[in-house]
Amino acid sequence: MEYRKLGTTDLNLSVITYGAFAIGGSMWGGNEKQDSIDAIHASLDHGITSIDTAPFYGFGLSEELIGEAIKGRDRSKIQILTKFGLVWDKSNNGKGEHFFDASDEQGNPVPVFKFASKENIIKEAEESLKRLGTDYIDLLQIHWPDATTPISETMEAMELLIQQGKIKAAGLCNYDLSQMQTAAETIKLASNQVSYSMLNRGIENELVPFSIANDISIIAYSPLERGLLTGKYFKNARLKSDDHRNGYFGQFNPELVEAFLNKIQPVADSQNATLSQLVLRWTTLQPGIAIVLAGARNAKQAIENAAAINISISDEELNFINENLALISQQLA
């Protein structure tokens, strides 16, 4: 595994970091508890030292599973990344910005709000520490921008948590350039976690140059477009009816994506690698991308993700991938 320093902090994260959204089950067609714990153990045993989660993932379940999985492990060798700012219970009394309606296990609607007030951040951090079974969080991130709370208030709350020793570093998620610039006026930012993949490269225009110039690490999520770029959904794979990807995949042109994957399959084959491993490795090599999140719902997937870092892509192969990617990008535009 390779490890990279996060921003100007003392944190060194595994370049492939375990993404724990899916193990929360909600929006992903459920989960199997033991498979999820096995996936975390396999990740840790194969060099992935960093785990990214959020309270919203499974309404607390993802954090709880991580807490159970790391119990008894050397905490100093594990970096926990979690978030705040998506509120689904009634404790905020409707404050914040309505985001969307999720569903509970019975299929009942659950209103979700973006809410990043100082009081709420302190509250959520304490709840996360309890669920994770730890006394500090390595990187705390605002999950989504909250238009109802001044950015300075949110950043000041994270600065307070750093001073209290409850978090080591502060990060953003899904902030655009203007929002990043405003946040940076109040606190030294470690990172911004944003969506980035072969099919979604918009951040390269402004956000990447700003981040590089200001020593802010980019954490890329959805590098495999939630499984689409693995290729298996073109080979009779089926999603459960309550899996959000049934709608998510619809934004892409399946025929073009499949044709592109068929083009680069020989590169993966030459490396004795899977398409998902090739795509993950390509993502780690892009300018400004420090950390790449990869989800796994069982040990086999976790081991495969960790091994992606071992792929050596030549300049010729990289050019071949990029040339074909440019063609599909033009057609998808």
Q: Which residues are catalytic?
A: 57
As to burial, measured by CB atoms within 10 angstroms (0-12 exposed, 13-18 middle, 19+ buried), residue 323 is exposed
Dihedral of alpha carbons 50, 55, 59, 65, sign: positive
Pick from 27, 84, 77: which is nearest to 241 by CA?
27
Alpha carbon separation from 11 to 15, 50, 138, 191 (Å, rounded): 12, 10, 8, 11
- Collapsed DSSP state (helix, strand, coil) of residue 116: coil
Question: Helix (H) and strand (E) counts for the chain?
Answer: 11, 13
Pick from 206, 205, 176: which is nearest to 192 by CA?
176
- The answer to whether residues 4 and 291 touch, using CB atoms and an 8 Å cutoff, is yes
Element (H, E) at 168: strand 167-173
Q: What are phi and psi of 218, to 5 degrees?
A: -100, 125
- Collapsed DSSP state (helix, strand, coil) of residue 307: helix
